[in-house]
A and B are shown apart, each in its own frame.
Chain A
């Protein structure tokens, strides 16, 4: 309906500027042609049943979107690769004869070999699990911690905001590397170096960003008319936060979360590069990307393939985020 109201396709009724003053301002008035405006349809109220909850309605919207279907299929594919890499590659990624170092593709090895003589394709397939887990679980972690902290800080304000936001400042000011160097050396971490320790470190130093974004979005929405209205209707302050403010603040959170998922996977690469991430026996895209740096000039494909895999994963999550955002936004809904 809204697209009809753009100035281009509306009849223009020019108004002559007031005499006396030389104004370049042209005031235009628009009136929608009555015959094209289905007034009855606009004003009618569906009484077919109880209104659907926000989430149910979002789901109804979502499953019809091609963007959602494509991204969901892609994510499904990536998850299957992560769970059962052996279905996609029969080559042992840990068998690395140095004689094959930097060799090009040949039968059975479609993407060639890296500097150590490992099969690039097999490593790409087998690296999916660790990378995906780091990306997804870190994102979930920062969403839970950062989202909660940010929402509470922004919504209630006052001393709670002061404490939570300043806590965020402290953690944010600590560079990830410093935190990681220390945490990964603590005996509890050192002896159990795994995907989970990496996730934990990334969550501890990554939550303030989501907290900031959530806080900003909640502050923007907490004074909106619908919140006042819902409170007037007797909804408790907290329920108004959960039922109305948060769902309306999700857009920027989803955007940041879907990009962060990719940057967390790359952050794992940086940590591994510095000797602080996953142990060398666990394969990951990040690890392969970071160790490809010295060969970029002569053997760029070693960098290319894990980066492509990472891009596909990130792309599918960004698309999913877009679809989810559209589905949740009542204003963007088309009838």
Chain B
């Protein structure tokens, strides 16, 4: 089968990658080789919102730390390709039943062995309702999830997980899902040592993992810093090339920016809006601007009468064509993004830049206006109605582009449009979840794992968890199912892209641009490489 082949091919890729690093840190300049492997690297981070348990970490601040403390069955390389870590092979014949073999001799940083049982226990723990883990829905594909996750359920063993022997276990899914192996590098699927279950809360403060780093003694100083030191028991593609990573907690990227300028902080992975215009000159030769697996969109809720039916469809298209994406990128983001031509991300395997129907994402004021008027002829836009674009503005940078977008829509369609600012994220989520939006709203997606499906299923499938606009199209759902049941990722991707063509017609959300990471680093470290998800490859950073 294709998957077992990939795992072999991936094993080979690891060897190649490692030999490349051995002779000098990847492609291009040979600067990494001279690095000082004992120096500690400092980087910015936000305070993790929860204890550091794999199935309870669902945000960037905690995720960055978890990905260094733990390693899963597979990991992702800089380009987002899956690389076997603990897994020896992941095999399936029908995309529904998987046999997973793990490498022998793998241990946690405290010396406990990692066996098949370790994974099964960790996943059952993450899924069970009684443990209330935020990421529990990640296990929903596994057979028996519905039982353990039911409210009040005391059961904590999914019937789809079976241990065969110390190094083998099988996974039965509720339905065929060809991209299941791709997910296994995500935080939720990391293993947990048995000691974690005695007191998960205490463990979350002082986790013991199997990743390239381990938490220093008392290393998590809340709201201040998190100190990681290399885990000498780790063997794998992400072995630490420095003497440790210390995350400094910053509440605002502006202040972190000045600290990198002053060479007090080594890596900043998020240049603030105030630095977008200058970071390339402030950090000449010490900056990066590359796309990562995320995008920005605008939701046009299907439950709004104005966006229903044939007229609604025309309006969505008209709004999309009334936005001059490139101009906003140039003027507001100083050129540091790329206009979207579909619904996923160019970083993801299977991405197609020019799908049929993608011209609906190109700026065309005349066509937009004509379409809008055509829609008005069928079902007039209420007189004086303002098209509001709702967004929480507690995060930096949202206000500016939405204002610009509203101005463009207003000018090009001849209606009134404005930003509807919301003070907090919790209020924004409540508005969205309770379907109380009265206009467009800001949205975006950052991939959990590198797969086209991750950009489509959770967002536009009927009744899906993050389907903010309540979009539903049986034809699209059918395509998704077909894609998941495909016997290879390539074949699946082809079908997912056909599903995207339906989206381009229906336009449940208006894709705006692909996210890009703008990162800078200090004079104390060599070139920093950033991964597919916009996170620096901390383990590969070397000090000068």
Direct contact of A and B (CB under 8 A): yes
Binding site for B on A (CB under 8 A): 96-99, 101-102, 115-117, 181, 184-185, 274-276, 279-281, 291, 293-298
CB pair A275 B423 closer than 8 Å: yes
Using A96-B407, A98-B324, A101-B331 as known contacts, say yes or no to A274 and B274 having CB atoms under 8 A apart.
no
CB pair A181 B411 closer than 8 Å: no
From B274, B278, B393, B427, A185 is in contact (CB under 8 Å) with B427
The yes or no answer to B394 lying at the interface (CB within 8 A) is yes
Closest to B398 in A: A275
CB pair A294 B423 closer than 8 Å: no
CB pair A98 B394 closer than 8 Å: no
The yes or no answer to B35 lying at the interface (CB within 8 A) is no
From B324, B393, B404, B421, A116 is in contact (CB under 8 Å) with B404
CB pair A297 B324 closer than 8 Å: no
Closest to A275 in B: B421
* B 417-443 contacts with A by CB, 8 A: 418-419, 421-424, 427
Of A117, A280, A297, most buried by chain B (CB within 10 Å of CB) is: A280
Closest Cβ of chain B to A289, distance in Å, is 14
Closest to B408 in A: A98
The yes or no answer to B511 lying at the interface (CB within 8 A) is no
Q: B422 — which chain A residues lie within 8 A by C-beta?
A: 275
Using A98-B331, A115-B331, A275-B393 as known contacts, say yes or no to A294 and B407 having CB atoms under 8 A apart.
no
The yes or no answer to B487 lying at the interface (CB within 8 A) is no
CB pair A274 B394 closer than 8 Å: yes
Report the interface size for chain B: residues with CB under 8 A from the other chain. Answer: 29
From B273, B392, B419, A294 is in contact (CB under 8 Å) with B273
Q: B274 — which chain A residues lie within 8 A by C-beta?
A: 293-297
CB pair A280 B278 closer than 8 Å: no
Using A98-B324, A275-B421, A280-B418 as known contacts, say yes or no to A291 and B277 having CB atoms under 8 A apart.
no
Of A96, A291, A294, A295, most buried by chain B (CB within 10 Å of CB) is: A294
CB pair A116 B407 closer than 8 Å: yes
Complex Cα distance A101/B327, Å?
Answer: 10
Closest Cβ of chain B to A174, distance in Å, is 16
Closest 4 pairs between A and B when the two form their complex, measured CB to CB: A275-B421, A101-B331, A294-B274, A294-B273
- Can you show 8 pairs from A to B with CB atoms below 8 A apart? A96-B407, A115-B332, A275-B392, A275-B422, A276-B421, A280-B419, A280-B421, A294-B273
Complex Cα distance A294/B424, Å?
Answer: 21
Closest to B274 in A: A294
The yes or no answer to B244 lying at the interface (CB within 8 A) is no
Complex Cα distance A99/B404, Å?
Answer: 11
Q: B407 — which chain A residues lie within 8 A by C-beta?
A: 96-98, 116-117
The yes or no answer to B191 lying at the interface (CB within 8 A) is no
Q: A293 — which chain B residues lie within 8 A by C-beta?
A: 274
* B 20-70 contacts with A by CB, 8 A: none
CB pair A297 B419 closer than 8 Å: no
- Give per-residue flags for B385-415: 1 if the beta carbon is below 8 A from chain A beta carbons, else 0: 0000000111010011001100110010000
Complex Cα distance A99/B422, Å?
Answer: 27
CB pair A281 B418 closer than 8 Å: yes
